[in-house]
Amino acid sequence: MEEKYQADSSAAGGVQTVPEHIVEIVSDSGEGAQKAGQTFGSVSAKMGNGVWTVEIIPAEIKPPARSPAGASGIRIRLGSGYVTNMGDEADLVVAFNEQVLYSRIANGAYKAGTTVLLESKWKDDPAAEIQAQYSRAVGEFRDNGLIVHELPMDQACREITPNPRVGKNMFVLGMLCHLYARDLEIAKKEVAATFARKRQEVIDLNLRLLQAGHDFSRDNLGFQFQVSPLAQQGEQRYIVTNGNTALGLGVMASGMELVSMYPITPATSASHYLADVYHDVGGFVHQAEDEIAAVGFAIGSSFAGKTACTITSGPGLALKTEMVALAVMAEIPLVLCVVQRGGPSTGLPTKVEQGDLLASIYGEPGDAPKVVVAAATIEECLHFVIMSRRLAETFRTPVILLTDANLATGVQPYPRPEPSADWLAPPIDQTDWDPTVPPYDWDEETGLSPRPIPGMVGGHYVLTGLAHTNESKVAYDSNSNQLGCNMRSRKLAALAGTLKPPKVYGDDQGGDLLIVGWGSTLGAIEEAVDRARAQGHRVSSLHLRFLSPLEPGLKEIFGRFKRIMTVEINYSDDPSAPLITPENRRYSQLSILLRAQTLIDIDCWSVVLGHPLQPGMIHRVLVEKLAAMEGQN
């Protein structure tokens, strides 16, 4: 190419040093944008940058090509500091066609000044309609302040492969490696590892495309960005995974030997990872014929002495509820990981939401108390599985671990965990069972009881989901049922007594507004709080990990602040909407729970836009809320 593409840059030599950048790769489904972005994020993490990635996945398996609804891709936020969320508007975008950008623009993903590297082959497409669409779109993008560079990426790829559709992603990866001064040798190792199961000629082809993209950017784009790495943290080593891989690592680290599940988006990749590696450590992945069979298989394993895990998403949780209730009634340990997605029903299978909180706590028939916890980071996905297994066995109860699509597919570096013997449950006690001790020898204060295992001499008993006595004998009398309900509930109170109050982020002495969140919104909420506090606002936040039972001390903490507001990714009514009154307003799910448990007037702000919350969105809401409070005073 003869033409050089120059972007605005105030730095000499076209190299601009920035504290962070947000990059997107957007294409039609099936063009490998996610793979390119994941590799770019992994390379950046290994070079010492803070990284967070978010996949952009269409809801349909095969949406129409060149359509806004078909936008498929990935966002990578890399920085010189620790990165905890997807950020706000992107700084640079690589687009394989112009149509996919429309949906991203509609979602507010870009700003005036965002650089767009756009595939230019469409302006010479044989179809006049496509040519017109392309020309019109480029004009609109530029009118809206986007800096558009039309690049013949497809043409450059054809010099190496006759089918750029299956290779352009590696070409784009090479471009980004040059634009952000990534170490190409690290990138080559990542690409080789990605295609390690392919033939050598496939690996070689992708490496050639990677190099070609790097050289294309070097020869034709007159700008680069430098994002410095984080300050060295001594000899600390890091690993780079997504949340579902972290779940898999947690399953193995916990010592559980069985995972039973049925494929469901966005949880399935956890079983894919485990299927590759679990057998190496003595584990077994069982793919059941349906969700009910999957949880039944896991409960059977746990009853026999091998505590098991099942992984699903919202619709799968709905199908498992009766079996989960059986585990509650029979007091069988079970770890149930729920990777939340948009709902209800089939809903938004590939989009993020936090809509399963109340279903997890109250979804079973009757009163079925169980432990519910939520991971807030990718690292916690690993450690919370380990914790969940220990809680399940200690309290003889199901433990539901909530994550979501944001954590499941997001990639982030975190400290390499050092395995500990404390992660593993002690070996099963196979000594003879005292025949005078019933199978539910409840401690009246805590509700806890030792756990007999089939095969122990004297330890056999009849398992039932019916109301029963402490001897596991079916009983319909009122006293037996009341006692059983008391003991199953008392276990949660016993667990709550071991928990510590949550830490306040900001000023724990109090202030005007306290934001309460849970799950993957942690990073975005805390970044928004930082921005508001930098402007002089007296705002803080608190993030809950235990949701059933709740962490102690909440009423005392809430009492230090003038107003409390939850921020969530589930539905709530706008109080100013037609027909909505204080009496009929639907609150967000954590707000409902906290209002019921603390009897405090807790407000909420929540949206269900199908993508993670951004710090800028939350910051605007905080400032508006504070202004409204000021006006009321």
Give one DSSP letter per residue of 253-307, joined into a string.
HHT--EEEE---TTTHHHHHHHHHHGGGGT-EEEE-SSHHHHHHHHHHHHHTT--
DSSP letter assigned to residue 425: P
Q: What is the CATH number of the domain that holds 325?
A: 3.40.50.970
Amino acid 12: pLDDT: 38
A 10 A CB-CB count for 133 gives: 18
* Helix (H/G/I), strand (E/B), else coil: 376: coil
Asked whether residue 485 falls in the same domain as residue 535, the answer is no
Amino acid 2: pLDDT: 38
Asked whether residue 370 falls in the same domain as residue 285, the answer is yes
Amino acid 57: pLDDT: 92
Of 423, 452, 473, the residue that ends a domain is 423
Q: What is the CATH number of the domain that holds 585?
A: 3.40.50.920
Amino acid 10: pLDDT: 36
Residue 277 has pLDDT above 80, yes or no: yes
Domain membership flag for residue 391: yes
Asked whether residue 119 falls in the same domain as residue 215, the answer is yes
User: Residues 519-533: what's their mean pLDDT?
Assistant: 98
Q: Which residue pairs, CB below 8 angstroms and at least 24 apart, start in 432-436?
A: 432/456, 432/457, 432/458, 432/459, 433/457, 433/458, 433/459, 434/458
**Greater pLDDT, 459 or 212:** 212
- Weakest mean pLDDT among 71-80, 240-249, 456-465, 531-540: 456-465
- Closest Cα to residue 331, out of 443, 457, 479? 443
Domain membership flag for residue 531: yes
Domain membership flag for residue 233: no
Sign (positive or negative) of CA dihedral 136, 140, 141, 146: positive
User: Residues 472-484: what's their mean pLDDT?
Assistant: 95
pLDDT class of 631 with cuts at 50, 70, 90:
confident
Q: Using DSSP bridges, classify how beta strands 539-544 and 504-505 pair: parallel, antiparallel or unpaired.
A: antiparallel
Domain membership flag for residue 245: yes
Whether the bond between 612 and the residue before it is cis, its omega within 30 degrees of 0, is no
Domain membership flag for residue 5: no
Domain membership flag for residue 231: no
Residue 218 has pLDDT above 50, yes or no: yes
Residues 6+ apart with CB under 8 A from 536: none
User: Residues 567-593: what's their mean pLDDT?
Assistant: 98
Indicate the average pLDDT of the chain: 95
Number of domains in the chain: 4
Amino acid 255: pLDDT: 93
Of 498, 530, 546, the residue that ends a domain is 498
The pair of three-digit structure tokens given for residue 291, joined into one six-digit string: 């969700």
Residue 340 has pLDDT above 50, yes or no: yes
pLDDT class of 234 with cuts at 50, 70, 90:
low
Hunting for tokens 């997107």 — which residue is that?
A: 24
Q: What is the phi/psi pair of residue 151, to 5°?
A: -120, 135
Residue 38 has pLDDT above 90, yes or no: yes
Asked whether residue 282 falls in the same domain as residue 353, the answer is yes
Report yes or no: 273 and 255 within 8 Å, Cβ to Cβ: no
User: Residues 32-37: what's their mean pLDDT?
Assistant: 96
How confident is the model over 398-452, as pLDDT tens digits? Answer: 999 999 999 999 999 999 999 888 888 777 778 899 999 999 999 999 999 999 9
User: Residues 386-403: what's their mean pLDDT?
Assistant: 98
Asked whether residue 254 falls in the same domain as residue 178, the answer is no
Asked whether residue 417 falls in the same domain as residue 461, the answer is no
Q: Which residues pair with 475 in a beta bridge?
A: none
How confident is the model over 69-82, as pLDDT tens digits? Answer: 999 999 999 999 99
CA–CA distance, 496 with 184 (Å, rounded to integer): 51
CA–CA distance, 613 with 87 (Å, rounded to integer): 9
Share of the chain above pLDDT 90, in %: 90
pLDDT class of 6 with cuts at 50, 70, 90:
very low
Asked whether residue 523 falls in the same domain as residue 464, the answer is no
- Weakest mean pLDDT among 210-219, 235-244, 518-527: 235-244
Domain membership flag for residue 201: yes
Domain range for 609 is 504-632
First-to-last C-alpha distance (Å) of the chain: 65
Report yes or no: 52 and 412 within 8 Å, Cβ to Cβ: yes
Asked whether residue 185 falls in the same domain as residue 120, the answer is yes
CA–CA distance, 229 with 413 (Å, rounded to integer): 13
DSSP letter assigned to residue 421: G
A 10 A CB-CB count for 482 gives: 11
Of 442, 472, 498, the residue that ends a domain is 498
User: Residues 311-340: what's their mean pLDDT?
Assistant: 98
Share of the chain above pLDDT 70, in %: 97
Asked whether residue 262 falls in the same domain as residue 381, the answer is yes
Residue type, 524: A
Report yes or no: 241 and 411 within 8 Å, Cβ to Cβ: yes
| Residue 127 burial by Cβ neighbours in a 10 Å radius (0-12, 13-18, 19+) | exposed
pLDDT class of 233 with cuts at 50, 70, 90:
low
Residues 6+ apart with CB under 8 A from 343: 314, 315, 353, 355, 356
Asked whether residue 297 falls in the same domain as residue 413, the answer is yes
Domain membership flag for residue 235: no
Q: What is the phi/psi pair of residue 87, to 5°?
A: 75, -165
Residue 7 has pLDDT above 70, yes or no: no
CA–CA distance, 595 with 569 (Å, rounded to integer): 18
User: Residues 214-228: what's their mean pLDDT?
Assistant: 96
Report yes or no: 308 and 256 within 8 Å, Cβ to Cβ: yes
Asked whether residue 493 falls in the same domain as residue 462, the answer is yes
Report yes or no: 526 and 541 within 8 Å, Cβ to Cβ: yes
Q: Residue 567 is inside which H or E element, if any?
A: strand 561-568
CA–CA distance, 340 with 361 (Å, rounded to integer): 14
Asked whether residue 566 falls in the same domain as residue 465, the answer is no
User: Residues 531-555: what's their mean pLDDT?
Assistant: 98
The pair of three-digit structure tokens given for residue 235, joined into one six-digit string: 């000899």
- Closest Cα to residue 353, out of 522, 516, 84, 570? 570
How confident is the model over 8-27, as pLDDT tens digits? Answer: 433 335 899 999 999 999 99
Q: What is the CATH number of the domain that holds 163?
A: 3.40.920.10
